[in-house]
């Protein structure tokens, strides 16, 4: 990690402010003054400011039970964002690992670990996401095969990757997908002539939404939950 990012992550300082401090010569790396913000810091390096050791930043991982009405972006002028539900320092350093639509509820993962975020969201990493879906019309049994073979979404050139559909009731189902195209689930049901009325995500990879979390609540992920995502 770059030196300016390292210091910024463990303080309330922006990268710009860190660069200004570095110029004063107060920061040492392995006991030598370092003014270079791009200097690479590895686990073996010791960073000090005015002689005090700066402990390496610890990555943060949270699960949130997203209520409807909140958007999964870091800033929005019209709607509250899911980050506003977190009572944590340095909110600007956190990223949302996979977005849900404003009207979708359920599991949202939030982290400041970019590699972990990528492992959750990249379609190449095959991290499965499970949704509970309520539809306007009854779900035709052939939808299971159609989703498993892949359907063409409006405006796309390639069919969706194989998805697993389990019909729970006439108009309720559990759908597991490994991609995260824009409005993917809603567009998949539209592709078979149905319409999603309610959408709730309850699982990402092996991480299941904690039943004890009320809408709007969040908690840190356990070490097992974090390591269940292979980075």
Please list the active-site residues: 101
Interacting residues toward ligand URA by CB under 6 A: 100-101, 104, 183-186, 199
Count of beta carbons in the 10 Å neighbourhood of residue 130: 20
Specify the residue, 22 or 108, whose C-beta has the smaller distance to ligand URA: 108
DSSP states of 115-161: HHHHHHH-GGGT--EEEEEEESSPPPTHHHHHHHH--PPTT-SSPPP
Pairing type for strands 47-49 and 27-29 reads: antiparallel
CA pair distance 155, 193, nearest whole angstrom: 16
Q: What is the nearest approach in angstroms of ligand URA to the Cβ of residue 133?
A: 9
CA pair distance 164, 2, nearest whole angstrom: 42
Q: What is the nearest approach in angstroms of ligand URA to the Cβ of residue 126?
A: 16
Specify the residue, 96 or 229, whose C-beta has the smaller distance to ligand URA: 96
Q: Which positions ≥6 away from 225 have C-beta within 8 Å?
A: 61, 63, 206, 207
Specify the residue, 92 or 166, whose C-beta has the smaller distance to ligand URA: 166
List the alpha helices (DSSP H) in the chain: 3-9, 15-23, 114-121, 142-149, 184-191, 223-227
Q: What is the nearest approach in angstroms of ligand URA to the Cβ of residue 88?
A: 23
Q: What is the nearest approach in angstroms of ligand URA to the Cβ of residue 58?
A: 30
CA pair distance 148, 119, nearest whole angstrom: 23
Specify the residue, 63 or 199, whose C-beta has the smaller distance to ligand URA: 199
């Amino acid at each position: 990690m770059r030196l300016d990012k390292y210091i910024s992550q463990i303080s309330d300082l922006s990268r710009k402010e860190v660069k200004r401090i570095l110029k004063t010569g107060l920061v040492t790396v392995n006991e030598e003054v370092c003014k270079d913000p791009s200097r690479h810091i590895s686990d073996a390096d010791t960073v000090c400011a005015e002689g005090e050791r700066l402990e390496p930043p610890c990555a943060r991982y949270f699960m949130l039970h997203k209520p409807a009405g909140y958007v999964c972006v870091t800033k929005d002028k019209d709607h509250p964002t899911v980050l506003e539900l977190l009572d944590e320092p340095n909110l600007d350093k956190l990223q949302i690992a996979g977005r849900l639509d404003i009207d979708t509820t359920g599991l949202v993962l939030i982290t400041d670990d970019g590699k972990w975020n990528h492992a959750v969201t990249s379609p190449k990493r095959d991290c499965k996401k499970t949704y509970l879906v309520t539809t306007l019309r009854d779900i035709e049994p052939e939808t299971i095969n159609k989703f498993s073979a892949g359907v063409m979404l409006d405006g796309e050139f390639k069919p969706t990757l194989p998805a697993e559909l389990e019909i729970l009731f006439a108009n309720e189902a559990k759908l597991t997908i490994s991609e995260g195209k824009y409005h993917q689930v809603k567009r998949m049901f539209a592709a078979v002539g149905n319409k999603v009325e309610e959408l709730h995500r309850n699982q990402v990879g092996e991480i299941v939404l904690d039943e004890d979390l009320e809408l709007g609540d969040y908690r840190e992920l356990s070490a097992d939950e974090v390591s269940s995502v292979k980075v």
